[in-house]
């Protein structure tokens, strides 16, 4: 009783050509081909309503009357999850919503297939039977093909009014999301063209379509090779060479034959190469939405990106026309290669409906310094090319068609920022010194080589934290010794005389390599970071060798993350020293330090300070463990603060112990980039701060105006008085304001 897909498809094609009102005919046709009693189409209306638009087998008077909310009943659930519901006994499913007017009582089984286009659900195709029946994979596949055809048909016949109508195309809208990269950009909207209409769906000759697919895949692969080769690793630009790291990972995904095989299967089912690629891209997209592992999700995003490239190759489309200057790119998803393309075309900001801060697009946006926001769902339903949009990367929101007041306010903020930067520019290259003459070292946190130019741009004093795992995440796997050595050597070359503190791999928790399955309940406190290195010493040793090779005789500083005991530090240090004996030339000076991220180390200071050459406080993790508050949960942000009595006491004790032992202390968490925190840390005696590039100049500007000798007694008094207060921020900020400091 399976569908005869080719025959059905050709009948559908005829139907599309001649029928004026094709929906009733279509449901009749599908019901007949499936030998099913019922076939219905529900269409999504504004306000997230699904309305019965055509039926064969249910009560005809229910058409236009029966309505379900998205999420309500099995049809609503199918629309909400974009997943096929294949239920032999639908009426006993917990989500079943009974609608008496349809007369559906006698029908036991139900299959609901979402009708989707450009990532949006336009409706649901439903087939019902009296007998309990479970559709097999082939039948589900065929129904999905019918749904795909429906997705083309519905807008053409005006059946899907879409969710945009009635919302008004000129009203301002604010889409709250998350910040991927700070900064503000204002400009005309350009849409990332993944929306393709009018492609031919049904193939005349599947064999010819398979040939077209393979030719296009080869052309795309060659194009990618050229794109990657153009970004030469030996080129001057470190930015370019790190793009290469991400692109190499991308090329590996492109070379994976699995998804092309799937496209081939769909073509053999009767679709054209374009339609098959689009179908498989849609499947990947839907699968991706259900994957909890963030990095695996990003890999699938790369595949979707590739599918779009392949479509462009097949259709010969120019992906875009002229880009207006300062344009704001809106995308549903964005792959790394695409972001580089758009960056080259001159966009000023990006909003991506489905993006996470750890995703490739976000990593690249930060490295390229493009204000970016993510998770701005729904924006593509209302935005039109040419609309004015504001990317507010500081607040993590997109403002579409801002009214004049809002637009002017953003323009003023942008202008003020420009002026501040112009003032700060005079500080580049000058040492960081407080008003009363305390010198500080302001260093950079770096993850990808493309961030290295920030050293010169900000005039930082060196790299205080090189997060070695980020480049591995960008390429999707741990590079071999030679490749790692090349990455580290680039950082040392670029830094020249300035120090670089390399941190060994800190994988785990929120930084996973693709394919890693986490079975721990609390991965942040699980088998991560140095723990992995100590249990897999060959992996750690390879990295240490790569670092020594990269140094090639130059001074080398290495630190270990997530150290919990002096014993762990000792083992790691021994591994490094043993490796250093084997590698020639040996570094002129080898300094070995530890991060302080786990509070337990505080009670091992006497021993630790005998063994460590330096200590770098990782305040991001240290705070999450001090306050038992997950650093990635926004609703907890108010519940902990570096400017609190426990944290300041801890740092104070650390500094005194380290000073008596003659061991330098620095701090490299995000907190160091906030001027008020930096001022307080400087008052406590932490004079080496490592931070994201955006913090260097604002911190330097504030420090230049602070008299630490006046602030220290004030800080002591605030700390003494603040035992019961969660945060001491308010009195510290008030003091700064009273003294006219730029906070
Ligand atoms: C930290 O924990 O403060 C730190 C710098 O490390 P990461 O943010 O990479 O965990
Ligand atoms: Mg950390």
CATH of the domain at 230: 1.10.274.10
- Give the position, in ligand 1's atom list, of the atom nearest the Cα of 616: 5
Is the distance from the beta carbon of residue 670 to the nearest atom of ligand 1 less than 6 Å?
Answer: no
With bands split at pLDDT 50, 70 and 90, how would you rate the model's confidence at 301?
low
Alpha helices in 627-674 (DSSP H): 645-661
Same domain, 498 and 610: yes
With bands split at pLDDT 50, 70 and 90, how would you rate the model's confidence at 509?
confident
The pLDDT value recorded for residue 165 is 37
Look-up: residue for tokens 């770096």? Answer: 446
Alpha-carbon torsion (501, 506, 511, 513), positive or negative: positive
The residue whose C-alpha atom lies closest to atom 3 belonging to ligand 1 is 618
Higher per-residue confidence, 294 vs 456: 456
Cβ within 8 Å of residue 96, ≥6 positions away? 73, 74, 90
| Terminal CA-CA length for the chain | 73
- In the predicted model, is pLDDT for residue 232 greater than 50? no
Look-up: residue for tokens 């002017």? Answer: 408
CA of 146 to the centre of ligand 2 (A): 50
Instruction: Let me know if residue 419 belongs to a domain.
Output: yes
Same domain, 378 and 443: no
Is the distance from the beta carbon of residue 597 to the nearest atom of ligand 1 less than 6 Å?
Answer: yes
Q: What is the DSSP string of 318-353?
A: -S--PPPTT-EEEES---HHHHHHHHHTT--EEEES
The pLDDT value recorded for residue 163 is 39
Mean pLDDT of the chain: 86
Residues 106-156: tens digit of each pLDDT = 999 999 999 987 667 889 999 999 999 888 888 888 888 888 888 877 776
Instruction: Let me know if residue 240 belongs to a domain.
Output: yes
Same domain, 451 and 492: yes
Give the number of the ligand closest to the Cα of residue 632. Answer: 1
With bands split at pLDDT 50, 70 and 90, how would you rate the model's confidence at 455?
very high
Same domain, 422 and 285: no
The pLDDT value recorded for residue 490 is 95
Provide the token pair at 55: 């039926």
Mean predicted confidence (pLDDT) in 669-688? 95
Task: Identify the CATH number of the domain in which residue 629 sits.
Answer: 3.20.20.60
Is the distance from the beta carbon of residue 353 to the nearest atom of ligand 1 less than 6 Å?
Answer: no
Is the distance from the beta carbon of residue 473 to the nearest atom of ligand 1 less than 6 Å?
Answer: no
Mean predicted confidence (pLDDT) in 562-586? 97
- Give the position, in ligand 1's atom list, of the atom nearest the Cα of 668: 5
> For the chain, how many residues are written?
743
- In the predicted model, is pLDDT for residue 239 greater than 60? no
3-state secondary structure of 129: strand
The pLDDT value recorded for residue 169 is 47
Instruction: Let me know if residue 163 belongs to a domain.
Output: no
Instruction: Let me know if residue 203 belongs to a domain.
Output: yes
Instruction: Return the percentage of the chain with pLDDT > 70, whole number.
Output: 86
Higher per-residue confidence, 428 vs 423: 428
The pLDDT value recorded for residue 1 is 37
How many domains does the chain contain in total? 4
Task: Say how far apart CA 352 and CA 330 lie, in whole Å.
Answer: 6
Most confident of the ranges 281-285, 438-442, 455-459:
438-442
Task: Say how far apart CA 705 and CA 701 lie, in whole Å.
Answer: 7
Cβ within 8 Å of residue 78, ≥6 positions away? 84, 85, 112, 113, 114, 124
For the CA atoms of the chain, what is the radius of gyration? 30
Residues 149-199: tens digit of each pLDDT = 888 777 767 665 443 333 334 678 899 998 888 899 999 999 886 545 567
Q: Which of 27-41, 56-70, 152-166, 518-532 has the lowest mean pLDDT?
A: 152-166
Same domain, 474 and 574: yes
The residue whose C-alpha atom lies closest to atom 4 belonging to ligand 1 is 618
Is the distance from the beta carbon of residue 371 to the nearest atom of ligand 1 less than 6 Å?
Answer: no
Cβ within 8 Å of residue 349, ≥6 positions away? 183, 184, 185, 186, 187, 328, 329, 370, 371, 372, 389, 391, 393
Instruction: Let me know if residue 498 belongs to a domain.
Output: yes
Q: What is the DSSP string of 7-57?
A: HHHHHHHHHHHH-SSHHHHHHHHHHHHHT-SEEEEEEEETTTEEEEEEEES
CA of 619 to the centre of ligand 1 (A): 7
Among the candidates 387, 407, 427, a domain finishes at 427
3-state secondary structure of 591: strand
Higher per-residue confidence, 407 vs 366: 407
Instruction: Let me know if residue 743 belongs to a domain.
Output: no
Alpha helices in 116-270 (DSSP H): 137-156, 206-230, 238-255, 258-268
CA of 597 to the centre of ligand 2 (A): 6
pTM recorded for the entire structure: 0.63
Give the number of the ligand closest to the Cα of residue 622. Answer: 1
Higher per-residue confidence, 375 vs 602: 602
C-alpha count within 13 angstroms, C-beta hemisphere, residue 699: 32
With bands split at pLDDT 50, 70 and 90, how would you rate the model's confidence at 685?
very high
Same domain, 75 and 214: no
The pLDDT value recorded for residue 525 is 92
Residues 628-675: tens digit of each pLDDT = 998 877 678 778 999 999 999 999 999 999 999 999 999 998 899 999
Sheet containing strand 109-117, strands side by side: 67-69, 49-56, 38-45, 120-129, 109-117, 85-87
Sheet containing strand 349-352, strands side by side: 173-176, 397-400, 388-392, 184-191, 328-331, 349-352, 372-374, 178-181
- 691, 677 contact by CB (below 8 A): no
Of 39, 192, 285, 668, which one is the catalytic site residue? 668
Instruction: Let me know if residue 412 belongs to a domain.
Output: yes
Of 619, 646, 640, which is closest to residue 628 (Cα–Cα)?
640
CA of 84 to the centre of ligand 1 (A): 41
Among the candidates 319, 335, 370, a domain finishes at 319
- 502, 462 contact by CB (below 8 A): no
Q: Which structural domain, as residue segments, surrounds residue 534?
A: 428-738
Active-site residue, 93 included:
no
Give the number of the ligand closest to the Cα of residue 358. Answer: 1
Q: Which of 260-269, 328-337, 350-359, 427-436 has the lowest mean pLDDT?
A: 350-359
With bands split at pLDDT 50, 70 and 90, how would you rate the model's confidence at 322?
confident
CA of 61 to the centre of ligand 2 (A): 63
3-state secondary structure of 463: strand
Task: Identify the CATH number of the domain in which residue 418 sits.
Answer: 3.50.30.10
- Indicate the helix (H) or strand (E) that contains 375: none
Task: Identify the CATH number of the domain in which residue 151 sits.
Answer: 3.30.450.40
Q: Over the range 34-51, which residues count as b (16 or more CB within 10 Å of their CB) and which as e?
A: bebbbbbbbbbbeebbbb
Most confident of the ranges 382-386, 456-460, 547-551:
547-551
Is the distance from the beta carbon of residue 467 to the nearest atom of ligand 1 less than 6 Å?
Answer: yes
Of 192, 285, 343, 360, which one is the catalytic site residue? 360
Peptide bond into 297 cis (omega under 30): no
What single DSSP character describes residue 444? E
CA of 465 to the centre of ligand 1 (A): 9
The pLDDT value recorded for residue 170 is 62
The β-bridge relationship of strands 432-433 and 439-446 is antiparallel
Task: Say how far apart CA 248 and CA 225 lie, in whole Å.
Answer: 9
Give the chain's count of helices (H) and strands (E): 26, 23
Task: Say how far apart CA 342 and CA 326 lie, in whole Å.
Answer: 11
* Rounded to 5°, angle at Cα 715 from 713 and 721: 105
Q: Over the range 478-505, which residues count as b (16 or more CB within 10 Å of their CB) and which as e?
A: bbebebbbbbbbbbbebbeeebbbbbbb
Packing angle, helices 273-289 and 137-156, rounded to 10: 100
- Give the position, in ligand 1's atom list, of the atom nearest the Cα of 624: 2
Same domain, 549 and 475: yes
Of 445, 480, 474, which is closest to residue 668 (Cα–Cα)?
445
Give the number of the ligand closest to the Cα of residue 667. Answer: 1
Residues 584-641: tens digit of each pLDDT = 999 999 999 999 999 999 999 999 999 999 999 999 999 999 999 988 776 787 789 9
- Give the position, in ligand 1's atom list, of the atom nearest the Cα of 669: 3
- Give the position, in ligand 1's atom list, of the atom nearest the Cα of 617: 3
Look-up: residue for tokens 């790299």? Answer: 463
3-state secondary structure of 266: helix
Same domain, 500 and 468: yes
The pLDDT value recorded for residue 17 is 66
Active-site residue, 39 included:
no
- In the predicted model, is pLDDT for residue 511 greater than 80? no
The pLDDT value recorded for residue 102 is 93
Most confident of the ranges 235-239, 266-270, 645-649:
645-649
Is the distance from the beta carbon of residue 669 to the nearest atom of ligand 1 less than 6 Å?
Answer: yes
Which of 363, 503, 512, 597 has the most ligand 1 atoms within 8 A of CB, as the residue to mutate?
A: 597
Same domain, 140 and 186: no
The pLDDT value recorded for residue 514 is 60
Q: Which of 33-42, 115-124, 246-255, 507-516 has the lowest mean pLDDT?
A: 246-255
Mean predicted confidence (pLDDT) in 245-254? 66
Other beta carbons within 10 Å of 581:
9
Instruction: Let me know if residue 165 belongs to a domain.
Output: no
Same domain, 597 and 697: yes
Same domain, 32 and 44: yes
CA of 38 to the centre of ligand 2 (A): 57
Among the candidates 104, 133, 157, a domain finishes at 157
Is the distance from the beta carbon of residue 626 to the nearest atom of ligand 1 less than 6 Å?
Answer: no
CA of 416 to the centre of ligand 1 (A): 31
Same domain, 556 and 632: yes
Task: Say how far apart CA 125 and CA 115 lie, in whole Å.
Answer: 7
For 287-438, where are the E strands, in sequence order? Answer: 328-331, 349-352, 372-374, 388-392, 397-400, 432-433
Provide the token pair at 459: 């005039």
The pLDDT value recorded for residue 602 is 98
Is the distance from the beta carbon of residue 173 to the nearest atom of ligand 1 less than 6 Å?
Answer: no
The pLDDT value recorded for residue 113 is 94
């Amino acid at each position: 009783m399976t569908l005869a897909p080719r025959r059905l498809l050709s009948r559908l094609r005829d139907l599309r050509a001649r029928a004026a009102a094709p929906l009733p005919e279509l449901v009749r046709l599908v019901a007949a081909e499936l030998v099913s009693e019922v076939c219905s189409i529900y269409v999504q209306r504004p306000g997230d309503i699904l309305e019965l638009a055509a039926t064969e087998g249910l009560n005809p008077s229910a058409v236009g009357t029966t309505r379900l909310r998205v999420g309500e009943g099995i049809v609503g659930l199918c629309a909400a999850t974009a997943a096929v519901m294949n239920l032999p006994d639908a009426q006993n499913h917990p989500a079943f919503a009974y609608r008496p007017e349809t007369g559906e009582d006698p029908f036991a089984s139900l299959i609901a297939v979402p009708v989707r286009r450009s990532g949006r659900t336009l409706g649901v195709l439903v087939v019902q039977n009296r007998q309990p029946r479970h559709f097999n994979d082939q039948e589900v596949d065929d129904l999905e093909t019918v749904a795909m055809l429906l997705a083309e048909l519905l807008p053409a016949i005006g059946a899907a009014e879409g969710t945009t109508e009635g919302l008004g195309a000129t009203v301002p809208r604010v889409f709250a999301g998350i910040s991927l990269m700070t900064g503000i950009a204002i400009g005309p909207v350009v849409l990332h063209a993944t929306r393709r209409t009018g492609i031919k769906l049904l193939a005349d000759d599947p064999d010819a379509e398979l040939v077209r697919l393979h030719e296009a895949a080869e052309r795309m692969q060659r194009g990618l090779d050229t794109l990657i080769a153009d970004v030469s690793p030996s080129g001057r630009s470190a930015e370019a060479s790190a793009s290469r790291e991400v692109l190499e990972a991308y090329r590996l995904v492109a070379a994976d034959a699995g998804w092309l095989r799937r496209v081939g299967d769909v073509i053999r089912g009767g679709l054209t190469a374009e339609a098959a690629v689009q179908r498989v891209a849609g499947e990947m997209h839907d699968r991706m939405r259900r994957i909890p592992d963030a990095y695996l999700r990003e890999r699938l995003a790369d595949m979707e990106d590739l599918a779009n490239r392949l479509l462009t190759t097949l259709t010969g489309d120019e992906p875009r026309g002229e880009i207006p200057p300062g344009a704001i790119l809106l995308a549903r998803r964005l792959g790394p290669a695409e972001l580089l393309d758009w960056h080259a075309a001159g966009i000023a900001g990006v909003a991506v409906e489905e993006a996470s801060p750890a995703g490739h697009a976000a990593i690249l946006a930060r490295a390229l310094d493009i204000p970016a926001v993510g998770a701005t769902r729904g924006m593509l339903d209302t935005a039109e090319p040419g609309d004015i949009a504001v990317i507010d990367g500081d607040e993590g929101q997109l403002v579409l068609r801002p009214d004049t007041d809002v637009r002017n306010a953003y323009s003023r903020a942008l202008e003020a920022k420009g002026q501040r930067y112009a003032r700060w520019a005079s500080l580049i290259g000058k040492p960081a010194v407080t008003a009363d003459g305390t010198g500080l070292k302001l260093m950079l946190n770096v993850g990808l080589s493309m961030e290295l130019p920030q050293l010169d741009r900000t005039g930082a004093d060196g790299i205080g934290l090189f997060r070695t795992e980020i480049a591995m995440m960008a390429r999707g796997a741990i590079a071999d010794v030679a490749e790692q050595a090349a990455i580290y050597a680039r950082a040392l070359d670029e830094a020249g005389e300035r120090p670089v503190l390399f941190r060994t791999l800190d994988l785990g928790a929120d930084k996973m390599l693709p394919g890693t399955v986490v079975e721990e309940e609390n991965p942040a406190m699980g088998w991560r970071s140095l723990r992995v290195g100590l249990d897999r010493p060959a992996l750690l040793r390879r990295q240490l060798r790569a670092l020594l090779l990269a140094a090639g005789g130059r001074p080398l500083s290495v630190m270990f993350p997530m150290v919990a005991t002096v014993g762990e530090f000792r083992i790691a240090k021994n591994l490094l020293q043993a490796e250093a004996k084997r590698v020639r030339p040996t570094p002129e000076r080898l300094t070995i330090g530890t991060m302080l991220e786990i509070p337990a180390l505080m009670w091992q200071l006497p021993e630790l300070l005998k063994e460590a050459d330096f200590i770098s406080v990782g305040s991001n993790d240290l705070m999450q463990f001090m306050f038992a508050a997950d650093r990635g949960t926004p609703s907890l942000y108010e519940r902990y603060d570096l400017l609190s009595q426990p944290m300041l006491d801890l740092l104070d004790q650390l500094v005194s112990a380290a000073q008596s032992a003659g061991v330098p202390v620095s701090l490299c968490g995000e907190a160091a980039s906030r001027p008020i925190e930096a001022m307080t840390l400087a008052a406590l005696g932490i004079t080496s701060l490592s931070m994201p590039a955006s913090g260097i100049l604002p911190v330097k500007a504030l420090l230049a105006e602070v008299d630490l000798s006046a602030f220290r007694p004030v800080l002591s008094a605030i700390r003494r008085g603040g035992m019961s207060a969660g945060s001491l921020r308010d009195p510290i900020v008030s003091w700064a304001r009273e003294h006219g400091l730029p906070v």
